[in-house]
Structure 1
Amino acid sequence: MKAFDLQRMALDKVPLEFLGEVALRSLYTFVLVFLFLKITGRRGVRQMSLFEVLIILTLGSAAGDVAFYDDVPMLPVLMVFITLALLYRLVMWLMSHSEKLEDLLEGRPVIFIEEGQLAWEKVNAANLTEFEFFMELRISSVEQLGQIKLAIMETNGQISVYYYPDDEVKPGLCILPEGIERYTTVPDNGDYACNKCSAVYAMKAGEHRLCPRCAHPEWSKASRAKRIT
């Protein structure tokens, strides 16, 4: 085999006319995917559940094969799409009648923040770093966790945030990326937030202790900032 053979790299063994067939096959699979999404009543892409992502990936694999490979017939791919559409409808019906099956395939919403405190073990269990989670909160204009009454990770991966009114905002862990000093020995009297679990405690100047909630040694001054809307 000759390296950097432009003919092999561009077309390999297929004739130039096959590009027209690729265009037709691509249009064919595009129409099939479009019809599938219309028939199943698909919501927006950001609202996909795990099960629905699996369906779409399977469709994409079938569509890609029939679009690019000359030895893949088109009718069997149509059968794949019909089967998946029927499977989708069947599973949706079964989930509407079985909460256990729905939990297995779709998952359950998970509370990540409750009354200004972070459930860090649930964040880690969801394969989400605190940095990624805090980034999502900052996009929603959250400066510190005491502004949040409840934050829920939905089954589609989105985060629903419920806020305290301004007059009920609590002191909390600041989640801005810069300008937050960390202490193992606190310099002044005041409220300090644990940098791991976000629990807030009143501490005295010179005090050095592990967080009673998670045994973490680092603290930062609790923020009382209200939301900017």
Structure 2
Amino acid sequence: MKAFDLQRMAFDKVPPEFLGEVALRSLYTFVLVFLFLKITGRRGVRQMSLFEVLIILTLGSAAGDVAFYDDVPMIPVFVVFVTLALLYRMVMWLMSKSERLEDLLEGKPVVIVEEGQLAWESVHRANMTEFEFFMELRLNSVEQLGQIRLAIMETNGQISIYFYENDEVKPGLCILPDGCIERYVTVPDTDEYACIRCSLVTRLQAGEKQLCPRCKNPAWTKVSRAKRIT
């Protein structure tokens, strides 16, 4: 085999005329996926549950094969589409009848911030890290966790946030990127500090070096008292 053979790299063993068939197959699979999205009635991927994403990935795998491989017939992919559409409708109906099945397939909302601090136990049970949603909070103009009364990770991955009034904002962990906050293992001043991992707020004395009693993390940062700008 000749290396860097442009003919082999571009077409391999298929004739150039097959490109027209690829275009037709791609249009066919696009229409199938589009119809499925219309059936689900969702406007975007962020609104999809885990079950719906799994259905789309399964359909996408079948659609990808029929789009590129000349030995994959098109009718079986249509059968896959019909089967998945019927499965989706049936499962949606079953979930409307069974809360347990709905929890199994869709998951449950997870409380991630409660009264200005990370709901550390809930986050751990959900096998998440704090960095997975700090960015989402920043996109909602959150500077520090003490601004938040309650934040919930919904089953579609979006975060619902309920804020304190400005006169009720608590001292909390600043969630700006690392370059914007100072971290200490030995704290320089007597003040309130927040654990950079679990957000526990405690008062430490100057020169004190202490592990967080909740998560055993050694690093702290001074609490932020920033109010929300509305």
TM-score over 0.5 for the pair: yes
SS of the equivalent of 2:211 reads coil
Q: Give the letter for the 2:39 counterpart.
A: I
Residue type of the alignment partner of 2:93: W
Calculate the aligned-residue CA RMSD, in Å. Answer: 1.9
- 2:194 alignment partner in structure 1: 193
Return the alpha-carbon distance in structure 1 between the equivalents of residues 174 and 88 of structure 2: 43
Partner of 2:63: 63
Within 5 Å, which residues of 2 pair with 1:169-184? 169-177=169-177, 178-184=179-185
Which deviations, in whole Å up to 9, do the C-alpha atoms of 1:80-120 show, x marking residues without a partner? 00000000000100111111111111110111110011123
Contact persistence 1:192–1:222 (CA under 8 A): yes
Residues 104-113 or 42-51, more deviating = 42-51
Q: Is the 8 A contact 1:120 1:196 kept in 2?
A: no
Q: For 1:144-159, what aligned pairs fall within 5 Å after superposition?
A: 144-159=144-159
Structure 2 counterparts to residues 1-229 of structure 1, below 5 A: 1-177=1-177, 178-229=179-230
In structure 1, C-alpha distance between the alignment counterparts of 2:193 and 2:207, rounded to whole Å? 13
State the AA in 2 paired with 1:35.
L
Secondary structure in structure 2 of the residue aligned to 1:86: helix
State the alpha-carbon separation in 1 of the partners of residues 131 and 60 from structure 2.
Answer: 31
CA displacement at 1:192 relative to structure 2:
1.8
C-alpha spacing 1:126/1:31, structure 2 compared with 1 (3 Å): same
CA contact (8 A) 1:188 1:204 kept: yes
With normalisation by structure 1, the TM-score equals 0.91
Q: SS where residue 170 of structure 2 aligns?
A: coil
Separation in 1, partners of 2:119, 2:141: 20
SS at match of 2:79: helix
CA distance, structure 2, for counterparts of residue 144 and residue 59 of structure 1: 41
Residue 196 of structure 1 aligns to a residue whose secondary structure is coil
Unaligned stretches of 5+ in structure 1? none
How far the C-alpha of 1:123 sits from its partner, in A, is: 3.2
Query: Runs of at least 4 residues of structure 1 off by over 6 A?
Result: none
Could you tell me which runs of 5 or more consecutive residues in structure 2 were left unpaired when the two chains were aligned.
none
Change (3 A) 1:27 1:179: closer
How many residues are paired up?
229
Percent identity for Structure 1 against Structure 2:
81
Deviates more, 1:191-200 or 1:59-68: 191-200
1:116 counterpart letter in structure 2:
G
